[in-house]
Structure 1
């Protein structure tokens, strides 16, 4: 009679689970079945109202971020580069600061880094809720000209694949 196989220790089990989460987070991409983006109005830090209806017919990136998020701060220069590369082809970009981010921090960050795109505040957390209860930052949505979500990136996107998606979406009718 053989002895039963030893059970993995709790520590090993947790390590395997953590590795699986890290792999999933590393992939960082969830593809939507062409779900419609929510009908929202963004309020920029300079008080401008930007409605999702105004953005229809354009490819739009909506990036949920926070000044206290290390990954958000790390990816922001590449977000600026991405916007600058594609804005001439019609890309719109709205960086949405999370509700817990103090507005004066957001304003200071946007001004000192000279962010070239629209920066909005989500003071009440309503935008995050309407985009599927966004809790993790950064979370970036790419919305097609038809107003449907093409892709959601959790964490920092793979910028090469993001650029390919934008290129393809911007030329599509």
Structure 2
């Protein structure tokens, strides 16, 4: 009976060790990308560590992207750092016009050469969102419209 108990305890210890290893070595860190905003400001992800940041890939002709704007503005007003990356196929003049018309208060970046799309795993669909925690770990990757309540719950855990 003692051997069975010892084997049970050993099994639990091994399982916990495997989980700890998996959590440590399977983290997906955000790429060391540099964003150039519409105002010409350069933002590096490495400089944003210490606070969560939401990166959203969007397009001016994407209905879901446009529907998300009020929620993104609300999150920004609550203190979340947001960088909206326009897809490479979106003309910069159209992005600039939409940002002014909608009075976007968060950072809007252009990805003219597609380097950001590539750095984030060859983003193809919009909207595509990445939530990065204070340590630079991607804790959420969402393709399609996001649920504001679920995202707020996740943010309270950071």
Q: Deviations over 1:84-109 (max 9, x none)?
A: 12x1xxx2110000000000110011
SS of residue in 1 equivalent to 2:47: helix
The residue matched to 1:123 in structure 2 has which SS? coil
* CA distance in structure 2 between the aligned counterparts of 1:57 and 1:153, rounded to whole angstroms: 22
1:101 matched to which residue of 2?
Answer: 90
- For 1:127, the equivalent position in structure 2 comes to 116
SS where residue 108 of structure 1 aligns? helix
Give me the whole-angstrom Cα distance separating, in 1, the residues matched to 2:94 and 2:31.
27
> For each residue in 1:55-90, what CA deviation from the matched residue of structure 2 results, as whole angstroms up to 9, or x when unmatched?
0111000000000111101111111112212x1xxx
Q: Distance in 2 between matches of 1:166 and 1:124?
A: 31
2:143 aligned partner: 154
Report 1 or 2 for greater relative contact order, CA contacts < 8 Å, sequence distance ≥ 6: 1
Per the normalisation by structure 1, the TM-score is: 0.75
| Aligned-partner Cα distance in 2 for 1:129–1:138 | 15
1:80 counterpart residue number: 73
Secondary structure of 2:109's partner? strand
Partner of 2:69, secondary structure, is helix
Local SS of the residue matching 1:38: coil
> 1:166 offset after TM fit, Å?
1.2
| Per-residue deviation, residues 24-68 of structure 1 (Å, max 9, x unmatched) | xxxxxxxxx530000010000010000111101110000000001
Show structure 1 runs of 5+ residues with no match: 1-32
1:47 corresponds to: 40
Between the aligned partners of 1:81 and 1:156, the Cα distance in structure 2 is 16
Aligned residues: 133
* Deviation of the 1:150 alpha carbon: 0.5
